[in-house]
Amino acid sequence: MRSSGEQRAMELREVHREKVARNEVRVSSLWAQPSRGYNVHIELDPPTRSSLEKIQQSLYQAEPNLLVCPEKTLHVTLAWLVAVHVSYPVDKDSLWKRHGEEWMAQLRRIAARSAGFRITYEHVVATDSAVIALAQPSEPVNRIREMIRERLRLPPEPRNEADLVHTTLFRYRGALCDPEKLLAMLEDTSVDATAEVEELVVSKELVYPSLEAEVLGRLPLASR
């Protein structure tokens, strides 16, 4: 019997396989561009980032048209407070100035009521916009996401409804040299890395995708 993580990876592969095989991948037009976004995420510890970076090295050698997310930027997004890919009627920094204090207070309460946990990476999957590492379990992460949705009065656009726990390893520079080879490699790639999650991080993104970012707060989770 397949684990829930394995089942989810298979489902995601099936959804995106044909598009990737036909090279209908979405090129990352924002890559390395100045950007502005305010995010809540999980910062991965150095051993976990190092394990994921080794996988990046082997895949990049096989497919040079991937854009490698630098090791120091590897993270799990929990919520977009002000989304980098959305245009608002109001300047993003002024949105933060108006709401940031209230949002941070609510996020501190959410963190204080959420016990620390661990996530384990198992699979690597290509979607039409990125290559991602999937982690389990999703329940503790999705509980925090649900509390953020319920308690923070965020602009309507940036709701991240995905219940995946994932880290983006690559974006796409252009058409892949050999999409079938990449898909086959990903099916044979397994990850064995576990991250201890003890805090939430709030950051301001300055260069996409988090190539430059400013940490605005570290919010400790409750002791287990």
Could you tell me the CA-to-CA distances from 7 to 10, 133, 194 in Å, in that order?
Answer: 5, 14, 19
- In the prediction, which pLDDT does 52 show? 98
CA distance 147 to 204: 21
CA distance 48 to 141: 17
Query: Would you say residue 224 lies in a domain?
Result: no
Q: Report which DSSP code applies to 44.
A: P
Query: Would you say residue 139 lies in a domain?
Result: yes
- Total domains in the fold of the chain: 1
Domain interval for residue 196: 4-211
Q: For the whole prediction, is pTM greater than 0.85?
A: yes
CATH number of the domain encompassing residue 197: 3.90.1140.10
Query: Would you say residue 138 lies in a domain?
Result: yes
Query: Would you say residue 217 lies in a domain?
Result: no
Banded pLDDT at 51 (limits 50, 70, 90): very high
- In the prediction, which pLDDT does 223 show? 86
Q: How confident is the model over 177-208, as pLDDT tens digits?
A: 999 999 999 999 989 899 999 999 999 999 99
